[in-house]
């Protein structure tokens, strides 16, 4: 079995809903359309498009919201994590790249819905950067809830 044929898995933040796909393609896309912006509360959505038949869902049943007369969005009803988008009459499903266990295993190869792209939010090269472990207020919050055993 080639490395590309190894199933990719993912799920929601709380772990209730899980999915896996054995699809061997690793091309992903960035959707900039207004519907994705609103559905994810973000400037766009990164998706990995795979055949519906390649996906298995485990754990809790994902909730489905009909975001248009022909499009459905899957999410975890417990934690709210957006997980998928698909056209009801189509053969494929988009899985949210951020919900993959290894989002770095797919690569951005195209953009969609560029008429709504927010150009100031798509790059960011050259802006100041910070690692989360270097942000003192966050580390202090974690320290308060994760006290070492005495």
Is the separation of the CB atoms in 16 and 78 below 8 Å? yes
pLDDT, position 142 = 86
For the domain spanning 3-145, the CATH number is 2.170.150.70
Mean pLDDT for the stretch of residues 43-54:
96
Residue 139: partners with Cβ closer than 8 Å, 6 or more residues away: 133
Average per-residue pLDDT in the chain?
A: 91
In the chain, % of residues over pLDDT 90? 74
Burial of 54 (0-12, 13-18, 19+ CB in 10 A): middle
For the stretch 87-125, pLDDT in tens is 999 999 999 999 999 999 999 999 999 999 998 887 767
CA 134 from chain centre, in angstroms, equals 25
Is the pLDDT at 1 greater than 50? The verdict is no
Indicate the pTM of the whole model. 0.86
């Amino acid at each position: 079995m080639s490395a590309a044929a190894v199933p990719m898995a993912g799920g929601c933040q709380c772990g209730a809903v899980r999915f896996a796909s054995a699809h061997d393609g690793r091309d992903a896309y960035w959707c900039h359309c207004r519907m994705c912006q609103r559905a994810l509360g973000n400037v766009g959505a990164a998706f990995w498009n795979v055949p519906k038949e390649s996906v298995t869902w485990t754990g809790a049943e994902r909730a489905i919201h009909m975001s248009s007369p022909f499009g459905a969005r899957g999410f975890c009803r417990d934690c709210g994590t957006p997980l998928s988008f698909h056209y009801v009459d189509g053969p494929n499903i988009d899985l949210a790249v951020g919900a993959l266990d290894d989002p770095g295993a797919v690569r951005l190869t195209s953009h969609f819905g560029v008429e709504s792209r927010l150009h100031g939010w798509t790059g960011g090269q050259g802006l100041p950067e910070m690692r989360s472990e270097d942000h003192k207020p966050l580390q202090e919050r974690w320290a308060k809830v994760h006290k070492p055993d005495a």
